[in-house]
């Protein structure tokens, strides 16, 4: 994994670290763009940021679903969803995902999909495209 690839993904993560837990639609939008940027970054550098993508998908999924939960509950779930979103943001503040991605990448380059095969895909992009007006 090159220093340039790491620098670029850190720039993407810095956008996530600026998010709060109040504006769920903003979280969805920022996560959506971040995932597209990481896909381009992976292709450009021929590396994988599987853990980072997984945590982004989870964050986006939670924010997207929380919009509906808050409507359905008449606002009674707002406190819970904010706290959950804050928990989802924590790994980005500690660079935990990048730590695992850097350690796994040499194995990915060898064709051993230690994270690629084990970290489940979360269909945030598809749900975002179906549910958010652009």
The answer as to whether 125 is a domain residue is no
The total number of structural domains that make up the chain = 1
pLDDT in tens, 12-67: 999 999 988 889 999 999 999 999 999 999 999 999 999 999 999 999 999 999 99
Containing domain of residue 79, as a range?
A: 3-120
- What's the rounded mean pLDDT across residues 110-133? 90
Does the structure show a pLDDT above 70 at 134? no
Triad 3, 28, 45: Cα angle to 5°? 20
d(CA 29, CA 60): 8
Q: Which range has the worst mean pLDDT, 5-9, 28-32, 116-120, 128-132? A: 116-120
User: What Å distances lie between residue 12 and 35, 43, 70, CA to CA?
Assistant: 9, 15, 28
The answer as to whether 67 is a domain residue is yes
**What does the pLDDT read at residue 3?**
87
Angle at which helices 96-109 and 3-17 cross, to 10°: 150
The answer as to whether 130 is a domain residue is no
The answer as to whether 65 is a domain residue is yes
The answer to whether 43 touches 76, Cβ cutoff 8 Å, is no
């Amino acid at each position: 994994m090159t220093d340039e690839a790491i620098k670029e993904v850190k720039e993407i993560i810095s956008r996530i670290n600026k998010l709060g837990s109040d504006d769920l639609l903003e979280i969805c939008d920022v996560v959506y763009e971040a995932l597209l940027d990481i896909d381009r970054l992976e292709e450009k550098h021929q590396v994988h940021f599987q853990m980072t993508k997984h945590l982004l998908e989870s964050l986006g999924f939670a924010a997207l679903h929380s919009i509906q939960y808050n409507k359905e509950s008449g606002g009674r779930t707002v406190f819970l969803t904010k706290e959950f979103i804050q928990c989802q943001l924590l790994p980005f503040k500690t660079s935990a995902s990048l730590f695992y991605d850097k350690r796994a990448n040499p194995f990915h380059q060898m064709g051993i999909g230690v994270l690629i095969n084990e970290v489940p895909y979360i269909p945030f992009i598809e749900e975002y495209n179906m549910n958010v007006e652009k």
